[in-house]
Each structure stands twice: as structure tokens, then as C-alpha cells.
Structure 1
């Protein structure tokens, strides 16, 4: 298993909705290992399989370098709190750019494990933000879509300038 190349903005695949995982087999375990390896290599806090060009509903999250890697198959948000939290977000698919995004502060979610077992939990704080960010990606919602039009346009211009300057 190995880290895979990332899909980079503005690739239209970043707006593609992922399909539900239906087979909990060795191929899924191999994909999960590649996704975890890519989180470490990127380095990233979280990645959806969409970030590596695989359109299945799989997310890997590691909140800190020494933290346990968490895997979520077919994650879905069951409820959100009325309270919100503002957190700086970005994407490894758009390096060097981040903006503040407001999201619900707490969520209830359900997901499957790699064996197909159903799990449910609540998440709050930074984990809730990361989960919402990655589930958005599975739904074809790139993090920029959560910004106002003005902030989104400015972020894209900054990214284009970074790319030009890097050449």
C-alpha cells in the first residue's frame, strides 16, 4: 500500500458526489490503507477518498501527528447543534489557502467500520468541524462553497497567484 497522488483544485472531480460503499472486502481495506498513508504523506488532518480520485464514501481523520487514525465508511450526519463554531479551514487539494468557515459546533453522526459494523457517536469542537468538512467533500461540496462569493473569489485569486509564483 502507498500514498496516492492528490486531486488538485480546480479539478472538477472535487465537486463529484461519492458513491456509498457496498462491499466491505479486501479492496476496501486496501483503499483505507492507501488513504491513511496519504493522510500521513500529505500531511493532512483528514481526507476523503475523493481527494485521491476514488469516489467511494470513505474518510480518514488524524487530528494530530501522534493521534489514532479514524476511519469512517459511509459517514452521515444525523443532527447538528444550533450553536456554531468558526474555524480556519483549507484543503490539501488547494495548498496555501485557508479561510474562516462557520459550522455547527456539535453533530451526531453514523458510519460503518471496515467490517460493515454500524457505529454512532456525537462529535464536538475541531473533530466536528473536520467531519463536516470531509462529509461535504463526499457530497461534492468543496470547502470554498461554504464561503461568501467575495471570500471565495479572493481565495481563488490568492491560490492562482501562489501557483503562478511557484512556477
Structure 2
């Protein structure tokens, strides 16, 4: 397994529309393992293949709940997580609720920037797993939000595209300022 470089906005590769996976291969399974390792290291809860430069319709998601109690005084490096990794290949949303939920979203391709985004609170989706098996389920809460966020990546859309132009420009300016500070 390998840690892959994550592409950051405003890189135009993030605007590429990803192609469907024709059949799941061992190369895809290796990519998926690398995506999980990259996502956990970042750290994040979701990653689309396009974020690591692969324009295929593959997502990894793990909402990772902390094991045990976590307080303000807990050293982040000592927190253990319950991991439930999920793979979504060629995901499709079949239905979405009229009810919306607001979540403060962030993105590994827009590091350290967060903004409230409205999305359907529940969705019914279908997808393939890493073995090519078909799945269909109704998802809600953070999983529904995360799936929609990651699926946006497959269509060349970033969470900041859901913001007003003013807010989006502010986020991009903050991102550029942080990038310059890291480079200095």
C-alpha cells in the first residue's frame, strides 16, 4: 500500500468527469487500498479516485467513530478509531429526500477550509463494492452527506461550488494564503 498525493484546488484535474469502471480488477483493489491508506493518513472520512489523479468512478468512505470517550484534553495522537471502510464503485443516487440537512463540510482537496452546505438529508443509492457485488441502500445523516460530497467529485464538482461566489472566493483566498504560508 502507498500514500498517494492528494490534488488540491484550484487544480483543474479536480474538474474532470470520472469514467465508469467497466469491471473491477486487482489494479482497482490496489488503488482502493492505497486510497484508504491515503484517506486515513490525511486524515479524512472520504476520498474520490479523482482526488489522487485517477478519473474513475471510485470512492472510499469511513466515518470512523472514536473508540471510547474523547474529551477536549484527549491527545489526538492517542485516539483509537472503530473503522468501517466502505467502497463505492459507479455509485448512483436513485432517490433523494425533499428534506435538506446542513453540514459544515471540508475536503482533503480544499484543506483546512469548511463551509455549511445544504444537501438532501436522505438518499437511496446503488453501487458496486471492491468485489463487483451490487448494493442498494437508503442512507441518511453523515453517510448521506459524505456520499453526495464524494459523488460530486466524480462529476468535477467541489463542495465550494455549492457556496455563493463571495464565500467561494473567500475560501479560495484563504486556501492560497495557507499554501503560501506552508511554502515559506
Calculate the TM-score normalised by the size of structure 1: 0.96
- Residue 66 of structure 1: how far off its partner (Å): 2.0
Equivalent in the alignment of 2:140: 124
Equivalent in the alignment of 1:79: 95
Equivalent in the alignment of 2:105: 89
Q: What aligned pairs does 1:26-105 form with structure 2 within 5 A after superposition?
A: 26-64=26-64, 65-105=81-121
- Work out the CA distance in 2 between the residues paired with 1:40 and 1:159: 21
Calculate the TM-score normalised by the size of structure 2: 0.88
Runs of 4+ in 1 over 6 A off after TM superposition: none
- Work out the CA distance in 2 between the residues paired with 1:160 and 1:30: 32
- Work out the CA distance in 2 between the residues paired with 1:101 and 1:24: 32
Gapped regions of structure 2 (runs ≥ 5) = 65-80
- Work out the CA distance in 1 between the residues paired with 2:110 and 2:7: 9
Q: CA RMSD in A?
A: 1.0
- Work out the CA distance in 1 between the residues paired with 2:31 and 2:177: 34
- Work out the CA distance in 2 between the residues paired with 1:129 and 1:7: 21
- Work out the CA distance in 2 between the residues paired with 1:115 and 1:103: 29
- Work out the CA distance in 1 between the residues paired with 2:24 and 2:171: 38
* Counterpart check, 1:157 vs 2:173: yes
Gapped regions of structure 1 (runs ≥ 5) = none
Question: Is the radius of gyration larger for structure 1 or structure 2?
Answer: 2
- Work out the CA distance in 2 between the residues paired with 1:85 and 1:40: 26
